[in-house]
Amino acid sequence: MVIPKEICAVIIALHKNGLTGKSIAARKIAPQLTIYRIIKNFKERGSIVAKKGGRPRKTSKRQDRLLKLFQLRDWATSSAELALEWQQADVSASAHTVRRRLLEQGLVSRRAAKKPLLSRKNIRDRLIFCKRYREWTAEDWGKAIFSDESLFRLFGTSGKQLVRRRRGESYHQSCLMPTVKHPETIHVWGCFSAKGVGSLSVLPKNTAMNKEWYQNVLREQLLLTFQEQQNASIDCAIMDCYQSGFGPDQKLIENMPGRIAEVLKKRGQHCKY
């Protein structure tokens, strides 16, 4: 039974005035056993505040702040490594305790986002580009053609693959991810604009996109796409605009002003775009 602090204070005051527990219980302030317990705790601890239950906390606030400092010094340090580093500061705790303490301080374990490495020159170039086109509207970006290239592996995958298996089936044929030492790759190049998706250029197998190939693609594919979209008939142009208005290409173009503003806000550093 939880007794309010005010009632506990009244019981202790009556006890100090010479009343016994039975006499205090006669006033029907609280049950007699509860009154005896409150008086006993006051005599042993000198306080009416109830003793906290459970096991005492293993670490202090100062030690928790030290752990947070260790983590922020190297964001990729694992909980097991932090436990060893914490141990050198005379704190004996398991990796599970480390994770709980970090979680209490708002540090949650998450998979790191993959972004291209940005050098100082990259950051400067991003800022120059964004400052140059910060006044462009979605209509202005609709007059531009966007292009990109990508590399694809023809065999296997470069990431992880999950399988569901039973114990002892680690090397079962159906549970393996086959790999080859030098997988075949292809480079592709594509473009799009507000009028629709352009042509897709596929380079020969295992061919890297160098300067000569890139210039050749721009001459043959980019100009061809531009001419086709500019010289399209009225019916074809209406169909292209209707289809692209509901596709991801149009959304990318409409979001360009927001992307520019976000990069400027981050001073050229990484952001969600």
pLDDT at 221 over 60: yes
Structure-derived torsion over alpha carbons of residues 130, 132, 135, 136, reported in degrees to the nearest 10: -80
Strand partners, 148: 190
Q: H helices within the chain, ranges in order? A: 5-16, 21-26, 32-45, 61-73, 79-87, 95-104, 120-132, 138-141, 211-217, 223-230, 234-244, 248-254, 256-265
Supply the pLDDT for residue 249: 62
Pick from 124-133, 146-155, 247-256 the range whose average pLDDT is largest.
124-133
Quote the percentage of the chain above a pLDDT of 90. 29
Tokens 């527990």, residue located = 21
* pTM (global) more than 0.85: no
**How far is it, in rounded angstroms, from Cα 257 to Cα 130?**
9
Q: 135 pLDDT band (50/70/90 cuts)?
A: very high
Give me 46's structure tokens. 């000198």
**How far is it, in rounded angstroms, from Cα 26 to Cα 13?**
15
3-state secondary structure (DSSP) of residue 151 = strand
pLDDT at 198 over 70: yes
Digit-coded pLDDT (tens) for 167-184: 888 888 888 877 777 778
Digit-coded pLDDT (tens) for 46-59: 777 766 767 888 89
Q: 28 pLDDT band (50/70/90 cuts)?
A: confident
Identify the weakest region by mean pLDDT among 19-23, 63-67, 158-162, 236-240.
236-240
pLDDT at 248 over 80: no
pLDDT at 246 over 70: no
pLDDT at 123 over 50: yes
Q: What is the mean pLDDT of the chain?
A: 83
Q: Is-contact 144 193, C-beta < 8 A?
A: yes
Higher per-residue pLDDT: 105 or 241? 105
CATH of domain 120-157+183-265: 3.30.420.10
